[in-house]
Structure 1
Amino acid sequence: MNEELTGRLRAAAEAHQPDRARILARVERGMSGAPARHRERSGARPWPRIALASLTAVGTLAVGGFAVAAIVQSPPARPEASATPAAPSTPSGKPRPTPSTPSAPATGRPTTPDRSSPTGPSPSASSPAGSTPPGSAHVQDGPLSSSGALGANSNTFWAQSNITLKSTQPLTALTVELRIRQTGAVRSTGNWRTMPAEDFTVTVQNEDGAVVYRWILKPGRTVPAGQHVFAGQYNHATGAREAEHDGYHVDANGPNGPLSVWGGFTPAR
């Protein structure tokens, strides 16, 4: 039931005023035995009809009264609630602004220094003994000179690589390194030097695909001026062996400071 129909019914109910006098007159006429509009054929007394008419009038009054009371007393229909709640207002009556999401700060240069790279100059890389690329050579450094060659007694199963040093001045420090590339079945069978054995610490080990011999002069010992030989002996795979990837590197210390020489090996003669 919409609001317009409800209003019209309420107005009709308020305007309706039942004619009580007319209704009571009709009841009194029925009770006083007034002649009916149509006579009964049987001549019986009209009491049943009068009683029925009275009951009908009373029922009509009761139903009409209840209907009017229901219409008058019914509360007006509630307006439908809005699905969207009203925005809260500030004391001044203006809608309260919705807080906005803070935007990300603009990308700029970082305030802290980038520590991924060093700020100072990088240290220079020094070439350790034996790291000289194959084929390069530096056989003379002041009073120290060198040469490398395969021994004359090398054969198809075994070989010897000789390093010859010449110094015109005594040496207070000396490290000789011989590197034999692993070309197949290379295995050390011994080593020797022309200097006293007790003056040197000797090691033989496999490093980076090569058999490496090292002779290191012990502290407090001296290499006299002259010619000195250091040799490494080894087995290898059957056949002629290529020595182009073999090499040596020598670090020494003379009266005027450090010395270094390096090179490769010539074929046996």
Structure 2
Amino acid sequence: MMDDIGNQLRRAAAAHQPDRARMLARVQRGMLSSSATDTADFDSPGARTARHRNRIAQSWPKVVLTTLATAATLAVGGFAVGAVVHGHEPRQESAAGPGTSLAPGSPSPHAAGPGQQDPTTPPPAGTGRPSAPPTTPGPGHTSATPPSRPHTEDGPLWADGSVDPHSNSFWAQSNVTLKARKPLTALSVELRIAQTGGVHSAGSWQTLPAADFTLSVREEGDALIYRWTLRAGRTVPAGQHVFAGQYDHTAGGRNARADSYRVNAGTSDAKPAVWGDFARST
């Protein structure tokens, strides 16, 4: 119903064409008839004609003002009709699909607040936390593994590390066995026993004469260290030789994987060096 009324008002407003000349003529006739009634019975024809011209000249400003007022009234009426018609036009609203309605007061899914990032926009590259720098062991720290892969043979020198089979749950012995194909004019054997709990020296021995070596036993960092050094002027004959370190430890099985050894030697024409670890648990 409201749509029909709006359509009719629009058609009427578009078809209306005011007759300006006719309106001015009606105004003029009204003014002339009024003046003629006032003086027709008393004036001569010449006086009436002069007065008539004078009144017409004086009435032109009024005619112009009347015309402007009429045009303004028509314009306001046209705007009013347009407003009425526009006010009754059906509103157009965007329809949300099923399941996309928002709760009252909830923000738009595409509007990001201050300092927030649109969830549909991928984060900028390089906005992750910086990785922590790798930590390096401090001075005196002994790694759980040897510093490098075992190197058990070098020229005329060969060596091997093993846990003595007579070790038990409270005590152990680690053996460094070396073989020399030539006499050695210099020799240094170092045995490192990792501190796995309750490790203390319980003695040492070697198959070569004890008087030919100086022995030092000390605790350094997290290891118990045995070191045999050949005295100056002494010689180690070619053959197989054993250097052993004995120690107590906490009751129970002990893992010797962190233990290691190193042997530096000298011959008449070379300075071989070998090193390795221990893989047996006691």
TM-score (ref. length: structure 1): 0.50
TM-score (ref. length: structure 2): 0.48
Structure whose CA Rg is larger: 1
